[in-house]
Amino acid sequence: MEEIQTTKKLSSKGESLTKKGFRSLFQNKAALVSMLVLGVISFLSIFGPIFLPNDLDTIYWDYIQAAPTTDNWLFFGTDANGRDLLVRTLFGGRISLSVAVVATFVSLVIGVAYGAISGFWGGRTDAVMMRFVDILYSLPFMFIVILLVVVFGRSIFLIYIGIGLVEWLDMARIVRGQTLALKHREFVVAAEALGVKQINIVWRHIIPNVISPVVIYVTLTIPKVIIIESFISFLGLGVQEPQTSWGLLIAEGVDLMEVAPWMLLFPSLFLVICIFAFNFLGDGLRDAFDPKTH
């Protein structure tokens, strides 16, 4: 815990690294704007469909494939079946963002635990565990998704599993590298000399000291997961009607982009803005909390 305690204490020369990091983050205009944008998109995706008068699957027979209009709150127009594209875009944000958050959380839990144990134990244990990671790396991601769909059928839950089974691999490697650098530090050696159990050393001393790079990597993983989910839905292996996601909406919009470009424009715009915002936020966190930048 020596490093964490050091970063939390104020030195005689000035601020702690944590306070300096937050100050640097709040001075980063791109990161602040990104947090605001993500907050607005998340709020609209969660509460927008609740307060808008139209439902997800309500069909307006007089507005089949209609361009954006103020009639009946159809500000984004309608899709090929006459359904409100604004409501479907916001509801699609729920699915895409929830998949990104849940799958990233699963990869975070598995990857951090796996990488910390592998790096701390070392030796044959580390070799076996990392060879298992290499084997999973060699399996095509789409093969895993298709296999899950064939065996269990299509469901949003399978998307969580499929993405989580792949994304934790990078997290495990990052944590393992950080653990290898920490396992010989004085505070770890002192804990071992005092007879602290190895699992407690990993939980109380190793994992807390790798949180900073992990948090930074998480903000870069979320947009990657959003793209993966969109790609899966684009291929027709993701969420199914009447539910939708940004990827599924984009797939529908591509087929009609020449006659109804708004069907492609609005879901794509939400997706691109969200991905850029997460990337800018991740860059801001890296610049603020990476010790090498201070």
Render each residue's pLDDT in the chain as its tens digit; 294 residues.
Answer: 444 444 444 343 445 556 777 788 888 899 899 999 999 999 999 999 999 988 888 899 989 999 998 888 889 999 989 999 999 999 999 988 888 888 888 888 889 999 999 998 888 999 999 999 988 888 777 777 777 767 766 777 777 777 777 788 888 998 998 898 888 888 888 888 888 888 888 888 888 888 778 887 888 788 888 888 777 777 777 777 778 888 889 888 988 888 999 999 999 999 999 989 988 888 888 777 665 555
Q: Please give the DSSP secondary-structure letter assigned to residue 62.
A: G
pTM: predicted TM-score of the whole model, two decimal places: 0.79
All domains in the chain, ordered by first residue: 83-293 (1.10.3720.10)
Alpha helix positions (H), the chain: 2-8, 17-26, 29-51, 85-121, 123-138, 141-152, 156-182, 186-193, 198-201, 207-209, 211-234, 246-255, 262-289
